[in-house]
Amino acid sequence: MCGILCSVTFSSGEPVDDNALNAQLESLRKANAERGPDSSVWYHTRVEAKDPMHRNVDIACYSSVLHLRGDTVTRQPLVSADGNILCFNGEIFEGLDINKHENDASKLFGLLNASGSDDIAKVLGSVEGCYAFVFYHNSSKRLFFGRDPLGRRSLLLHIPVTSNDSLVITSVGGSDVPQMSFEEVCTDAIMCLDLMTNTRSTNLPSSAFAIPLSEVPRKLESRVFTRIPKLNVSWTETEPQIQTIDDQILPSHALHGLTSQFIQTLEESVRLRVKDIPYQADGNIARVAILFSGGIDCTVIALLADRHVPPSEPIDLLNVAFENPRKLRNQSQTGKMKAGQNSTTQKVVDPYAVPDRESGLEELDELRTLCPGRIWNFVEVNVDFEEARSAQKKVLALMYPRQTVMDLSLALALYFASRGKGRVLNPETRQSATYISTARVILSGLGADELLGGYGRHRTAYQIGGWSKVIDELQLDLDRIPTRNLGRDDRVISSHGKETRYPFLSIPFVSFAAGLPVQVKIDPRLPLGCGEKMILRLAAARLGLKSASTRKKRAMQFGSRSARMEGDQKGHLLVDAES
């Protein structure tokens, strides 16, 4: 995990306010430095124009590094003897042979250095992982940048609007640089800028262009990593294959084999995301944490992680709860009405007894029963109202350019959960103590609802138009995964020097899920807690997670009560519109 910051300045021959640019870049540097506490380096170079009609180009690259691969910290930007530069933020899990002692950014840099500029997109298309990058290819004078096809890492772009402005690429923007307007870099193409085709009369090189990933060879060493697959659109109008999740699925049943494949594919995705994480200190402290609401998605991920994290290490379960004044007022009024208005006794309400806390504790018991040798640190992250309010300015800057009320509700929950500061109850002494998670890798169950039909609108689609409408809705969910929340979540969580990994969103698992018949993933004819994400529920039951297998969907902002703390704001409105 790294913070990336790159500025490209085209010399126009006119006076430039370097102090203003430097102040803006310094603000962005500080924001990016939070992402990588182990190293931070600037590197500057000038690309000299060969033609007097063209402009010189100054490139400034900055990287901060969170050490998660290899034996030692690999400082970035990486610079080769022939002048190539790489800033790489992310992890490569497949497509490139990397042993536990090696660093993936260094291995990728070696491949890029050995490639011509026309092959850069092919190299990126051959690997699978969560990444964003900036790569300067010196011999061709071209600058490449982009994100992985699912957009699992943030990368923002500011396009110059005046001749004295700079092009800026950064992992995180913020509100401290109002002179710059950022947008998220697209995920369906590798962007390329030819720096030597600019003229003195233009703000940007005339040959700025994109290399669509669909034009990259889809198959390299028999692996497809470059494009999100389309859904299996086949369906048949048959009776439901099960009646309840407790139905006995015999080996002869079609769902038996598919459930086994589902578990194996998801487990492999989890294994790749928890293996070879460097030890920071004592080997008995947590290296892996899970965003843990007690829902089926995160609980299955936790159980599979137990199989591949050394048994002597704890796993942190990060469970966040907010003191929500609006909810507490409603609870108090309801309690008074039940007790009678003249009652002198009033039940004391625990402000942190939120739905996700209750379900989290239930699943903690289930995990401890199934994995008795593991220390599960159930981290109660309690956020009082004033602390949440005081963090809003910071969180708004991190989630930018996302700015809606719903974005803020979700970002607040992720910000405090990933910080990992709370209390842990000792199950033997029943005493709780202050705890700060040491885990630098955080697993998230995000993606299961989109891939497997976990939302209420999937049931609505069936009611409106049957199976074909469900398929259309699932395809829409799949298509917009790269543009929805992943960039925002990366900017928020990484501000604590943590990295999020998504087992449900590995390209191999996405391909597997997309290829399943729709009636294996969801059957809206079955009741809630059974029909949605049906194959995941069958997998959870097979794994022994009986309680989790029937748990109903609950949105994070409502389960943690980070939403609507001061009023009944509409989620689609801009935050500024509410003030």
CB neighbourhood size of 349 (10 A):
12
**SS3 state of residue 71:** coil
128 is written with which tokens?
Answer: 């699978």
The H or E element containing residue 137 is strand 128-137
> Are the C-beta atoms of 244 and 494 separated by less than 8 Å?
no
Determine phi and psi for 290, rounding to 5 degrees: -130, 130
Q: How far apart are CA 413 and CA 556, in angstroms?
A: 8
Residue 420 is labelled as binding a ligand? no
Q: List Cβ<8 Å contacts ≥24 apart for 77-83.
A: 77/41, 77/43, 78/105, 78/106, 78/109, 79/43, 80/109, 80/113, 82/113, 82/138, 82/139, 83/45, 83/136, 83/138, 83/139
Q: Which of 245, 244, 105, 154 is nearest to 536 (CA)?
A: 245
Which residues contact residue 264 at a Cβ distance below 8 angstroms, ignoring those fewer than 6 apart? Answer: none
Residue 293 is labelled as binding a ligand? no
Residue 108 is labelled as binding a ligand? no
- The sign one gets for the Cα dihedral 63, 65, 71, 72 is positive
* Measured CA distances, 154 to 2, 44, 495, 505, 550 (Å): 11, 23, 12, 15, 34
User: Active-site residue 2, yes or no?
Assistant: yes
Strand order in the sheet with 441-443: 432-436, 421-425, 376-383, 315-322, 288-291, 441-443, 499-501
CB neighbourhood size of 507 (10 A):
24
Q: What is the DSSP string of 362-429?
A: HHHHHHHHH-TTS-EEEEEEEE-HHHHHHHHHHHHHHHTT--BHHHHHHHHHHHHHHHTEEEEE-TTT
Q: Which of 376, 382, 412, 410 is nearest to 299 (CA)?
A: 376
Q: What is the DSSP string of 250-270?
A: -TTSHHHHHHHHHHHHHHHHH
Determine phi and psi for 328, rounding to 5 degrees: -65, -35
Residue 104 is labelled as binding a ligand? yes
Residue 445 is labelled as binding a ligand? yes
- Catalytic residue of the set 2, 61, 87, 298: 2
b/e sequence 71-107, b meaning 16+ C-beta within 10 Å: eebbebbbbeeeebbbbbbbbbbbbbebeeebbbbbb
Our CA angle for 27, 392, 316, nearest 5°, is 95
Q: How far apart are CA 25 and CA 174, in angstroms?
A: 11
Q: What is the DSSP string of 446-497?
A: TTHHHHHT-SHHHHHHHHHHHHHHHHHHHHHHHHTGGGTTHHHHHHHHGGGT
Active site residues: 2
Residue ranges of the binding site: 104, 291, 354, 444-445
Binding residues for L-glutamine: 104
Q: Which residues are annotated as a binding site for ATP?
A: 291, 354, 444-445
